[in-house]
Chain A
């Protein structure tokens, strides 16, 4: 751009002076646009190709009456049996979550910039965390079955390992955000690395340790159903068995049990979260405090320590409400973990044999091979899985943007409407997608359509919330300015509100795509087609070379989507 001096006086009439040339668009911006349009086109094509069109969908839903007659009355297992499978599921999920928390903590310490021991440790732990995130738990499960054989241990390790991807990442982020002052103080007092990490870093992230653990417990409970299909015990195992043998009444009853279980866990988690955050006077601790006031005595003299009856200095906190609650919760957790270990027969697991078998077993997976069927069966199934992910995301966007917008207080016509939609979002979030997919599969029959519908509907729970949150974070003055210019409601929405949230929106959509492609793999296992179907077949028929090939395919797809998302977030930030 050349500057010509002196500049002519500004004029209201265009045409006299040359307009400055438009700055060349950033090539990365163009690439992002191409990717977005490509994904949109892919979504539309996938919808048509998979048959997720209104007439077809409504045609299939015409069977709904038929569905009711097939599933009613629900056939619940007898109480004792139901309890034992529920306990097994909860035990596996609890141990998997505990495992992921305990393994994630040291990994996160090594992965966080302020606590790592060096660049090598940091890089390796980041790679491990990313790897665990990329591999779906079902893939861990089919590999681990070769090492440990049937048993709960496979489920625990598979779910635990794949949880590390999220838990480890969140812990590392939390560690990087702590106040580094206390750590420096311990260093200045001669404390070593692990001393200051345990004494100052871990206490600071304790609330996040608990909150993330609870969140992951919830996610794992929902995911646990799928592991039943590859032989992990618990409700999922019986659910899979019922559906595979077309016992719809039993299957639906068990699906309902999982749904109720998820809601109960969500409620309990909410209570615990409140207790951690609100250290208020009321509630359970308040009650304990009012009881313990009877025996708690506090020192009065500031310059002499309180002494016990024996004359020794009192150096343990009084048994007040907080200490009772703390002791009770730690005790309960330990007892639950111990019970879970007993229930799942972990003590019987033969780790020695697994270690011995490791290399021979891994050897069975190599070389990966499709047995000449790759292009005829497996490749189309990979494409189908990607199509399900794309179609579900497109459907999700179409559903979630209006729902999310109406849930945002600064867009919704009234506060009541916003609250109503917020509640709706929370309710949808409570429904496990997998259970929804299973119900839909029973209604409309096996195939990708119910999977796409379930994931698209599930997007209301996740994507709408993200959309609503980012809309509420927009600068309302821009909306005011556009409104002052005489724009109507719709014009304000599109020109000011949506425009402002575009970068955040793209990030959310990519995240949802990432989630959906992983989920489509899993849905294949319950009968929605795609690569999951062949994964399950290869697992059952013990075709290790095929399994390896499919796993590699899944990983490549997941990593491509992850890479795209990462790149786009970088560009549009």
Chain B
């Protein structure tokens, strides 16, 4: 089974995020990068499937600060190959990233034909598009997102998958392989790998590194960020006062306003 996993680094929101001086993006000076949460699940699902069915897992990502740690950790967890794509520049948006990944996947020996291409279902900075459907479109493959269960049957050329719907409802799908899946959650939470193992892998294994292909078209994202701001936050709750009936009605009104009722 040949599984590819596309990883993406996103700003770590544990750190206080600040707006850049130009007011249009993040101040990257103190921002730290972390693996997008659902990408971690995509990797875990790939590793579980490899353990179950045998095969190979390759992780790919565009270069970003702290990416090397993530790639070595992936190798220590059991991935077979880690490919870092350099030179795309900082602040590459999802549309362009997907295009670069698709080109590398298509041209790099040993990646295609793949049975499964996985990524997280959504990253919280996927402003100009979602990676999984973009990859699917570029590679001409079927796509299914918000997947929590993935059960491939290579001999039959298809996979039984489960997608999440609102209210705890799930849908069971049959998808022809090869296909691209946006993983919401792996079967089990992402595994822990002892630091000693990662350190050992840093000495014994290599991350493959190659430049992003020259872009034959520019401006793939086709959007402009005019301004970025922090939302207004107060340090304390707005207290609702009055009789039980009054506060209940007021609260109901708030819930309706927020589309929760």
Are A and B physically bound partners?
no
